[in-house]
Structure formats: structure tokens, C-alpha cells
Chains A and B, each alone.
Chain A
């Protein structure tokens, strides 16, 4: 394989990280919490697509829509049942630990329902590879990249131009003041979880289309890497999550190709540490302004 194909596969993998990181970063930006269960929602989403396609024989796109709706509801329920009661808790650690608990809960539910044996996921993109300049690129990779770009653009438009998007920005800046404007803060946070979790289903389906092994722990490592991507790009920033995700994918894939596939993850995390030493707020992170 040539450098170019390693690169494009890296961008493809990075696009998956980007979609997951968008969910992480939005929830962090608006609810001010790290939802460590986000990666496991991806896994649940992939299982729903798998069951819909393989066991029920539903075509790929409707299966994906079913999974998105399922994860959307799942995300909203998790927030309402597990996180909301702790929102005003004295310690921010409480909700963080709960998120880790929810992560294990989802993994164990998947273990119970689907069993420990890995499933072989069938690709949702049923298109032939595309040849660019003599190099064959899988259409799954191209669809993944396109999906991440479209999702980022739509989210940016949504946050900047629509009323619920503006409400998200207001809640992210000052929850109390947002409430005084007549913004339903709980509703806005629910909406954020709904969007992030629906995106997780998309990420799960696309990821398992490229890397077709699905088990209850499938979401765990990509979840952590997407978190790295979000921090890398500047947590809370939508373009930051996107760029962070793609850079991470490229670094990981090139490390696998040219250095060692065994220490690729170590290299990814080393890069994160270096970036944070140089720019503690991440590439696109805002310097936190103190209010007068």
C-alpha cells in the first residue's frame, strides 16, 4: 500500500473518531460533564444495526435510522435517570463516576443480551471501491469521510443559526442566566444528549462497516480515543472535535503503517500529552474568560 492509501484510511478512521468526538464535545460544552458512557452507546448502536440487518433482514439505511432513534432515546434516558439527579451535586466527581458506571452497565447488558462472542458485522455501504489516480479506495471510507463532514457542517449551522442552537450556546455559557431568558435548561441538555447519542449510532455503524468485528467492548477504545480527539481539538469546540478526530486517525494509521502497529496507540496518547503541554486548551480551545 502506498502512503496515500494509508493516509486516506487514516482520514476514514479519523472521521469515525470525529463523529464520536462531536458527541463528547457537545455534551461537555453544554452539560459540563464527561460522558464516559458515550463509547458504549456506539456499541449499542452497532448492535441494533446488526440485529436489524442480520436477524430481521431490514435494509441498511432503515436499520441505521432505527439504531439512531434507539440510541437517541437511550441517551435521553441515561441523562434523565443517571446524570440529571446529580447535576447540582456538591462534587463533580459524582456524575463522572456515574458515567463510568453507566459505561459498564451498557457493556454488561450487551454481554447478557448478545453474548460474549464477536459478531461479524455486514457493511452498511454496499458500493464498489472507487479508483482515484490508480489507487483503490473503499467506498466505506469515502462515505465515512463525507458523513463526518456533513454532520459537522449541519451541527455548526444548527448551533450558530437556529434558536435551539443558540439556547445551547447560552446554556453552555451560563446556565442560570439562560434560565432567566426563558430557556428550558433541562430540555436543552436533553436535546444535546439526543443529538450526541443519535450520532453515536452513525459512528458505530460506520466504524463496524470498516472494522467488522462487534463485541460488547467494541465501543470502549474508540470512545476513549474520541475523547482524546475532543481534548486534542479543544473540548467544547465543534471544528476542534472534527480536526482532532481526523488528525488522530491519521497519526494512528501512519504509526501502524510505518512504525509499529503494536505501539500505535501509545504514539497517539504521547501526541496528546505533547499537544496539551504546549496548548493546554487544545488546538481550538477557547481561553476561558473570567466574567467581570
Chain B
């Protein structure tokens, strides 16, 4: 089962644009979140909603640009991750709903 080493790198040559764009996006999202909290005087609910939306985009950047989540045939890992996210949402939202 020896793969030809000279050809496996095909399609991964050159400048890593995907990573650089992902990095720039993640920096913009981080600074934007801080800016919303420090400079905009929105209501607490609105501020938290906005920074949570930015966090979700930040996670998508990591998953798509850095972790190659859609990679490989079938990509069953997407199901595993989204099941994890679903349970996480149930635990977090459920706890908050019970307490507050």
C-alpha cells in the first residue's frame, strides 16, 4: 500500500491562501467582539447576542479553514461534531433555563 510520494502533494502546492484568509478573518472577528463590548454601549442582551454570533463565525472559520472538516469522502466527522454541538446546546441552554 505504498502511495506515490511525488504526487500526493498535488493540489497543496504554493502559498497557503486558505490559512492566511482564515487567520485574518479570525483576527477581525476577535477585534470586532472586543470593540462591541468596549466601544458600543448597547444593552447587555444585545451585546451578548452579537458577541455570541461572532463566536459562532469564529468557530466556523476554524472548522472550515484550519480543520478541513468537510474533507474526505463521506465526511462522517461532521455528524460526530454536530451531535456534540447539539448535546452541548441542550446542556447549556437547559441549565440556564432551569436556573434563571
Whether chains A and B associate is no
Binding site for A on B (CB under 8 A): none
Binding site for B on A (CB under 8 A): none
